[in-house]
Amino acid sequence: MEKITVVGSGYVGLVAAACLAELGHSVICVDNDLARVETLQGGGVPIHEQFLPELLARHRGTNLEFSSSLPEAVRSSSIIFIAVGTPPKENGEADLSYVESVAREIAQNINGYKVIIEKSTVPVYTSDWIRRVMHLTTGADCEFDVVSNPEFLREGTAVTDFLYPDRIVVGADSSRAAALISEVYAPLTTGKYYLSPDRIPEPDGSACAAALILTTAKSAELIKHASNAFLAMKISFINAVANICEEVGADIEQVSRGVGSDSRIGPRFLRAGIGYGGSCFPKDVSAFRAVAHECGYEFDLLDAVMDINEDQRLRFMKKIRTALWTLKGKKLGVLGLAFKGRTDDIRESPAIALIQQLLAEGACIRAFDPAAMERTAEIFNDRITFAEGPYEVAQDADALLILTDWEEFASLDLKHLRTLLKYPIILDGRNLYTPEEMEQNGLMYVSVGRKPSNLKQFAKVG
Ligand code: UDX
Ligand code: UDX
């Protein structure tokens, strides 16, 4: 059992802290947001994440503590994960000022050998910068190592992504640090955790010991950026293909099934839609682009990935205008606010960007999301209204828009929807239904990369 500090109790830090406690370590999770720390100490769960409430209830007060005092936490542990935010700056680079200030505070309180682990997504060279800040603050004689251990946690499945990872990447330039971090993850890499009767259930019914990939710190930093950029590229690629499907009358769902079943390509992250969002892909693709430029390489491919992503939303907006003609005064029902299903996170959500545009063009929005309404209300105040469920959203609406891929939006009673809507128009940015089932239920249906249904009636309404 190791004594571990995790700095930052956001989407990544809190999940990492809870999962490290689940692996048997003694963890202090530190945050400088006092209200958040109080919520956590008092038994609250500030983010929507499957299995997180269970893990917090299981470990809070025993091997998981919450604190706002970084100095105390640093002094009491030899392993310190940094999981504070690294938001994008105007020029696309990552803002590393939080990472720097945490590194400085660690340096000011160092009292023996420490391993400082970058968990936040950071550009290559950050480990060097952290080392420099540490040396400048402490003088030359303190003992520490800096390790890059990137997270590959998808919001919504972050707990199982942590506990059942495809791989664990540890970028360490010293064997002492590599050995210590390997020990932290040993319950996963030896498979011991998977024998525990009270483990969090494996997502697909099978678990095997996680692969540990040991690299240099720089390689690990690049693995993180390159992985996210590649996944974003896959999404932009399939979105571009979806646009060709629309032109030629093909079906993107068939095409992506056909393409994705080539084991060299794989079916995941090949779902066409209204573009990727969230706190990672948009920020990481532009940060990786900026890093490459700094290093003297123009990674133009990433410009195309970002352009296609932006264009995907604009194209959907155009579809809404085509379906409804004018937007001023139209009552639109919106299903989904989060950047994807199973999370309450609305950072860089395509749904939010579309709502902003719809409001700017005079539409009235009533929305429902199973988890993200509270966060959305904070940005829109009373400029949009909220409903208690999907059917209330549809009531008397001029059209229904599906903007987030929540599972519960994929099994609505279409006959009932038809009776509720003022006009039977559904615009689906996530392809949750087939055009055929919409047609059978008398609904006009516009989605991504597929032929619209009931276009003739659609023309009459338009
Ligand atoms: C993380 C990573 O930091 C980011 O690099 C990655 O790409 C996505 O995930 P996330 O956990 O989503 O970010 O961020 P957020 O939910 O904003 O949490 C960051 C937490 O750190 C906040 O609770 C904030 O209060 C805390 N923080 C920030 C500190 O404790 N100290 C600071 O100096 C700054
Ligand atoms: C991502 C990474 O997947 C994860 O490894 C970690 O580095 C953090 O960032 P996250 O942002 O939580 O995770 O969600 P993810 O599931 O990757 O989805 C990102 C965006 O892409 C969402 O807006 C989602 O709707 C979209 N997406 C995803 C698609 O449009 N099509 C797909 O096929 C998959």
How many Cβ atoms are within 10 Å of 86's Cβ, its own excluded?
A: 25
* pLDDT exceeds 50 at position 462: no
Dist. CA 34 → ligand 1 center (Å):
14
User: Which residue spans within 226-384 are E strands per DSSP?
Assistant: 331-335, 364-368
Dist. CA 385 → ligand 1 center (Å):
29
Amino acid identity, position 288: F
CB 324 within 8 A of CB 462: yes
* pLDDT exceeds 50 at position 272: yes
Residue identifier of the C-alpha nearest atom 5 of ligand 2:
152
Dist. CA 8 → ligand 1 center (Å):
5
Residue 246 pLDDT level (bands cut at 50, 70, 90): very high
What strands, in cross-sheet order, belong to the sheet with 331-335? 385-386, 364-368, 331-335, 399-402, 425-428, 444-446
| Selection from 390, 389, 406, 283 nearest residue 344 by Cα | 406
> Is-catalytic flag, 142?
no
CB 31 within 8 A of CB 137: no
Q: Which of 81, 223, 279, 285 to mutate to test the pocket of ligand 1 (most atoms within 8 A of CB)?
A: 279
Q: How far apart are CA 180 and CA 167, in angstroms?
A: 17
Q: Confirm or reject: Cβ of 256 under 6 Å from ligand 2.
A: no
User: Which atom of ligand 1 lies at the shortest distance from residue 11's CA?
Assistant: 11
Q: Is the dihedral of CA 168, 169, 175, 177 positive or negative?
A: negative
Q: Confirm or reject: Cβ of 152 under 6 Å from ligand 2.
A: yes
CB 436 within 8 A of CB 414: no
Place of tokens 């239904």: 433
Residue 138 pLDDT level (bands cut at 50, 70, 90): confident
* pLDDT exceeds 50 at position 103: yes
Residue identifier of the C-alpha nearest atom 15 of ligand 1:
10
Q: How far apart are CA 210 and CA 216, in angstroms?
A: 19
Looking at the whole model, is its pTM more than 0.85? yes
What is the radius of gyration, based on Cα positions, of the chain? 24
CB 85 within 8 A of CB 121: no
Place of tokens 């890499």: 189
The lowest-confidence range among 115-119, 131-135, 182-186, 295-299 is 131-135
Q: How far apart are CA 454 and CA 162, in angstroms?
A: 44
Q: Confirm or reject: Cβ of 273 under 6 Å from ligand 2.
A: yes
How many Cβ atoms are within 10 Å of 16's Cβ, its own excluded?
A: 26
Angle ∠(179,185,187) on CA atoms, nearest 5: 120
Closest ligand relative to 316 C-alpha: 2
Dist. CA 122 → ligand 1 center (Å):
12
Q: Which residue has the higher pLDDT, 194 or 121?
A: 194
Residue 1 pLDDT level (bands cut at 50, 70, 90): confident
> Residue 58: its pLDDT value, please?
97
Q: Which of 245, 280, 295, 364 is catalytic?
A: 280
**375, two tokens:** 């966060």
Dist. CA 235 → ligand 2 center (Å):
9
* pLDDT exceeds 70 at position 91: yes
Q: Give me the percent of the chain exceeding a pLDDT of 90.
A: 90
Residue 2 pLDDT level (bands cut at 50, 70, 90): confident
Query: With b meaning 16 or more CB within 10 Å and e meaning fewer, what string describes 145-159?
Result: bbbbbbbbbebbbbb
Q: Confirm or reject: Cβ of 155 under 6 Å from ligand 2.
A: yes
